[in-house]
Structure 1
Amino acid sequence: MHPHEVAEILNLPGSRELLSRDITRLAYVAADGTPRNVPIGFTWNGTHIVLCTTPNAPKLAALRRNPAVALTIDTEVHPPSILLIRGRAELDPVDGIPEEYLQMNGSYRMTPEQRVHWEAEVRSLYTGGMVRILVTPAWAKLIDFDNTLPSAVEELVRARDARLPA
């Protein structure tokens, strides 16, 4: 997929709405060669999906070995909206707490007092810094069940329409 095609999909209103959510599912190949799919907070900066994790997270060794990843961001309603993204992960160790981490956790419902306590806990835990995982989208598909369907369902619709009289 060409970069301008990816950008067109990511700029659709439905994609922008999904890119403003809190959680994505990160799929990657673990160090033992088996697949993993983990929920993780994220933010979209217009160029990269930014994820943050602990420096000792097992996924980091796996991503160093094989940076190919897939992301799913979706809704919990019917029909769902689903944004599928494939790309490569770049690891960026950071001293302290990345601003993106504080942003991506800013939409959770917390009272101001809870927020102060949460930030203090985060700062006490991540004394060794964090790792930003930057995913550059190389492929994207928005499935909204109105304008777009999963490709296998699109195939079934075409086959059905070919069988029906005109």
Structure 2
Amino acid sequence: MRPTEITDILNRPISQELLARDLTRLAYIAKDGTPRSIPIAFTWNGAEIILCTSKNAPKLPALRNNPMVALTIDTEVHPPKILLIRGRAELDVVDGIPDEYLQMNGSYQMTPEQRVEWEAEVRSLYDGMVRIVVTPTWAKLIDFETTLPTAVEELIRQRAERQHA
């Protein structure tokens, strides 16, 4: 997929809505060779998806071994809106708490007092974190109005061909 195609998809209003959500599902291949899909907080900086995790997270050795990942960001309503992204995870070990981690956890319902307590707890727990930086290499938006899953598009095309035969 060409970078301009990816940018066009990610800049659509529905994609921007989805990229502003709190959680994505990160899919990767674990060290034992089996797939994993985990919910994880994220933030979008306009070019990359940033995820943050502890330096001892089990996903890190797996991502070092095979950095190819897939992300799903979706809604819980019918019809769902779904943004599918593939890319390569780059791991960036940082001292302290990355700004993105504090931003991505800022939308949960917390009073200002709870926020202060939460941030103090985070700072006392982590001496550093790993930023998982994913630059999209492929993207697809499915909104069930203007875009459909590829298999459904194929079925619709086949039905139309049968009806016109």
Matched, 1:154 2:148: no
State the SS of the aligned residue for 1:141.
strand
Q: Deviations over 1:61-106 (max 9, x none)?
A: 0000100000000000000000000000000001000000000000
1:93 match:
93
Match of residue 57 from structure 2? 57
Written as runs of structure 1 = structure 2, the 5 A alignment for 1:36-75 is 36-75=36-75
Runs of 4+ with deviation above 4 angstroms: none
Determine the structure 1 residue equivalent to 2:9.
Answer: 9
CA drift at 1:159: 1.2
2:134 match: 135
Where do 5+ consecutive residues of structure 1 fail to align?
none
2:81 matched residue in structure 1: 81
In 2, the alpha carbon distance for the partners of 1:38 and 1:16 equals 22
Q: How far, CA to CA, are the matches of 1:126 and 1:153 in structure 2?
A: 46
Amino-acid identity (%) = 76
Give yes or no for the alignment of 1:102 onto 2:102: yes
Q: Structure 2 unaligned runs (5+)?
A: none
For 2:112, give the aligned amino acid. P
CA shift, 1:54, in A, is: 0.1
Aligned partner of residue 62 in structure 2, secondary structure: helix
Q: CA deviation at 1:164?
A: 2.4
| Higher alpha-carbon deviation: 118-127 or 85-94 | 118-127
**Structure 1 residue 162 displacement after superposition:** 1.8
Give the TM-score of the pair, scaled to structure 2: 0.98
